[in-house]
A and B are shown apart, each in its own frame.
Chain A
Amino acid sequence: MPTTTRCGTPSAANSTLGGVPTIHYLDFASRGRGQVVRLLCEDAGIAYDDVRYSFDEYPAYKESKIAQLNPLGNVPVVELGGRVLTQSYPIVRHWARVLGRYEGEGEEERYWVDVICDACADWRTLFVQAFFSPSKDTAYPEHQRTTQQHYLTAIDKLLSSSPISAKGPYVAGTTFTYADMVLYQVLHDEGLTQDGRKGLGGIRG
C-alpha cells in the first residue's frame, strides 16, 4: 500500500494554488523528477500530501490507479482542486506563474531559466538511462566519465558566461527559480552535492 504523509500546514500559498496538492510519486528517498515538485512546495511553504509508491508495488498501481489519473502511466501525478496535473516541468512552471514567483522577471530571464531547466531535463534523461540500466556497473561509470562531466562543464560555462546569472548565485541571478531546483536535484541525485560538495570541486556552486 502506498503511504501518505501530510507535509506542512496549509498557508496563503495553498489558497493561491487552490488547495492542498496530493503528489503521487515513487518512494525513492528524496530523489527523482517528482522531488522537484515536493521541493517547490517546501520552499514556498505549501502544504502537500506526499503519497509514495514503493518500487515493488508501483508496477501494479501504474496499470490501475495511476493509469486512471494519467493515461501515460507516469509519475509524478498531482491531484489539486479536482484537477490532475502531470509532467513535472510543466507543473513547476505553472505553479511559478500562478504564485507569481520562481520564474524570473521579463521574457529574457524566463527564457534563460527555461533553457537551464531544459538542459537539466536532457541531462537527467541520460543519467536515469545509465543509472537504471541492466548493465549499470559499466553504463553508470561510463556516464559519469562522459555525459555527466560534459553537462557539469557545459552548465557551469552557461552560468558563468550569462549576464543574467552573473548577478547572483542562482540561475536568474538574485532570484531563486524552478530551474535552480531542477539543477540542484539532478546534481543531488547524481551524488554530487553530498560529502561537502566533493563532486563539484572546481565548479562554481
Chain B
Amino acid sequence: MPTTQRALSPSTGNDTLGGVPEILYFDFQSRGRGQAVRLLLEDAQIAYDDTRYSFQEFPEWKETGLVKLNPVKTVPVVKLNEKNLTQSYAILRYFAKLLKSYDGKTPEEQFWVDALCDIASDWRTLFLQAFLNPNQQETYPKHQQGDRKRFLEGLQVHLTSNDFSKAGPFILGQAFTYADIVLYQVAHDENLTQEGGKGLQQYPRLKQLVDAVEARPNIKAFMASDRYRG
C-alpha cells in the first residue's frame, strides 16, 4: 500500500494554488524528477500530501491505478483541485506562474531559465539510462567519465559566461527559480552534492549554486527534517 504523509501546514501559498496538492511518486528517498516538485513546495512553504509508492508495488499500480490518472503512465502525478497534473517540468513552470515567483521576469530571463532546466533534463535522461541499465557496472562509470563530465563542464561555462548567471549564485543571479531546483536535484541524485560537494570541486560555479540552494532557509529546514531521506 502506498503511504501518505502531510508535509507542512497550509499557508497563503496553498490559497494561491487553490488547495493542498497531493504528489504521487516513487518512494525513492528524496530523489527523482518528482522530488523537484516536492522541493519547490518546501521552499514556498506550501503544504502537500506526499504519497509514495514502493518500487515493488509500482508496476501493478501503474497498470491499474496510475493509468486512470495519467494515460502516459508516468509519475509524478499531482492531484490538485480535482485535476491530475503530469509532466514534472510543466508542473513546475505552471506553479511558478500561479505563484508569480520562481521564474524570470522578462522573456529573455524566462528563456534562459527554461534552457538551463532543459539541459538538466537532458542530463537526467542520460544519467537514468546509465544508472538503471542492467549493465550498470559498465554503463554508469562510462556515463560519469563521458556525458556527465560534458554536462558539468558545459554548465560551468554557461553559468560563468552568461550575463544573467555570472554574478551568481543562482541561474538568474540573485533570483531563485525552478531551474535551480531541477539542476540541484540532478546533481544531488548523481551524488555530487553530498560530503561537502566533493564531486563538484572542479566546477566551482556549480558548487556555488548548490550551496546557495541548500542555504535557503526553508530548504535547509527541510533537509534537517525527517522528510529529507537522502
Contact = CB atoms under 8 A, between A and B. Distances in A.
Interface of A: 70-74, 85-87, 89-91, 93-94, 97-98, 107, 110-111, 114-115, 117-119, 121-122, 125, 129, 150-151, 153-155, 157-158, 161
B153 A111 contact: no
The binding surface of chain A is classed by DSSP as helix
Interface in B47-95: 71-74, 85-87, 89-91, 93-94
A70 to B, nearest CB: 8
Contacts of A94: 107, 110-111, 114
B63 to A, nearest CB: 12
B154 A118 contact: no
A86 B151 CA distance: 14
A72 B87 contact: no
Contact of B94 (A73, A107, A153): A107
B151 A119 contact: no
B215 interface: no
Given A86-B115, A87-B118, A122 B74 contact: yes
B137 to A, nearest CB: 19
A107 B115 CA distance: 20
B72 A154 contact: yes
B31 interface: no
A115 B86 contact: yes
Contacts of B114: 87, 89-90, 93-94
A12 to B, nearest CB: 18
B142 to A, nearest CB: 14
A107 B72 contact: no
Which 3 interchain pairs have the tightest Cβ spacing? A90-B114, A94-B111, A71-B157
B90 A114 contact: yes
Contacts, number: 88
Interface string B111-151: 10011011101100100010000000000000000000011
A121 B125 CA distance: 11
A144 B94 CA distance: 32
A108 B117 CA distance: 21
17 contacts: A71-B154, A71-B157, A72-B119, A72-B151, A73-B150, A90-B111, A93-B114, A94-B111, A97-B110, A111-B93, A115-B86, A118-B89, A118-B90, A121-B121, A150-B72, A151-B72, A154-B72
Contacts of B166: none
Contact of A72 (B85, B89, B117, B154): B154
A154 B87 CA distance: 13
A91 B108 CA distance: 10
A79 B175 CA distance: 26
Which residue, B74, B98, B115, B153, has most C-beta atoms of chain A within 10 A? B115
A110 B150 contact: no
B227 interface: no
A130 to B, nearest CB: 12
A97 B117 CA distance: 17
B16 to A, nearest CB: 12
Given A72-B151, A90-B115, A125-B125, A110 B72 contact: no
Contact of B98 (A70, A107, A117): A107
B90 A115 contact: yes
A93 B93 CA distance: 12
Contacts of B150: 72-73
A108 B111 CA distance: 20
